[in-house]
Amino acid sequence: MRRFFLILSGVAVILALSIFPLAAQETTAIQSSEAVDELDLQAVSELFKESETLEDFEKALNDPETGINNLDLNEDGQVDFIRVVEETEGETHLIILQAALGEDDFQDVATITVDKSSDDSYNMQVQGNEDLYGENYYIAPANVRVHTWPIVIRFYRPGYRPYRSRYVWGVYPAWWRPYRPVKVTVYRTRVVRYRRGPTFVVTRKPRVVTVRKVHYQPRRSVVVKRRNVTVTRTRRRR
């Protein structure tokens, strides 16, 4: 009799496993989005839209009063100064936002691309560096009318000369002073006014494809590691 019950119990377990498969733990690394709360690219896009020149844009980007820049990539307790460097090829303007983290040690943070096509149409996108924002993180205008922006008008004037910031590690403008990063909750209150309008949207697809024509060698700092976060996903083993 006891043997009969043991056999019956075994059959019951097998039937249960066939009906309710065992759960297996699968660990997968995915991209984090910490940088969004350290340098909100929608806010950066609004600054770009409102600026008269790239020099003005660089100043607004690093202004402690505005507080849009909250990046501390080398974790020294001070917000990193982000310099602006422009490369051009034909009608395409590529603006690189770089953090200087040491002597000849730069980390690209994001790029802004403005392009004018042969039919006089304009397009623009901001792309976050994948080490910080993950792959395919773009900010693009919801309604493409970038040709009316003062900074874009300036780009396509005759005789325009690309802007290259003269600031490097240890050499900063007189108006700039190092300041400490703030908590995420504080940072979000700073940038909320730049996110209220429908001007820009987050997208996973590029809007400007001619950017590949621009001669540009990305810079990556030795002190910045690719930002990942590990999550555990549960799948059913059948």
At 123-182, the pLDDT tens digits run: 999 999 999 999 999 999 987 789 999 999 999 999 999 999 999 999 999 999 999 999
Flag the least confident range among 4-8, 103-107, 134-138.
4-8
Cα angle 38, 128, 115; round to 5: 135
d(CA 146, CA 112): 13
Judge whether 21 and 237 are in contact, CB under 8 Å: yes
- pLDDT of 228 above 70: no
- pLDDT score of 53: 98
pLDDT by residue (tens digit) across 166-211? 999 999 999 999 999 999 999 999 999 888 778 899 999 988 876 6
d(CA 238, CA 236): 6
Please write down the long-range contacts of 142-145, taking CB distance under 8 Å and 24 or more positions apart.
Answer: 142/198, 142/199, 142/200, 142/201, 143/198, 143/199
pLDDT-above-90 percentage for the chain = 59
- Do residues 19 and 238 lie in contact, with contact meaning Cβ atoms separated by under 8 Å? no
Mean pLDDT of 69-88: 95
What confidence category does residue 33 fall into, taking pLDDT thresholds of 50, 70 and 90?
A: low
Question: 220 versus 163: which is more confidently predicted?
Answer: 163
For residue 221, pLDDT over 60 is answered with yes
The single residue listed with the structure tokens 């820049």 is 69
Q: Which residue has the higher pLDDT, 41 or 199?
A: 41
> Which stretch of 20-34, 149-163, 178-192, 218-232 has the lowest confidence by average pLDDT?
20-34
Cβ proximity of 202 and 42 under 8 Å: yes
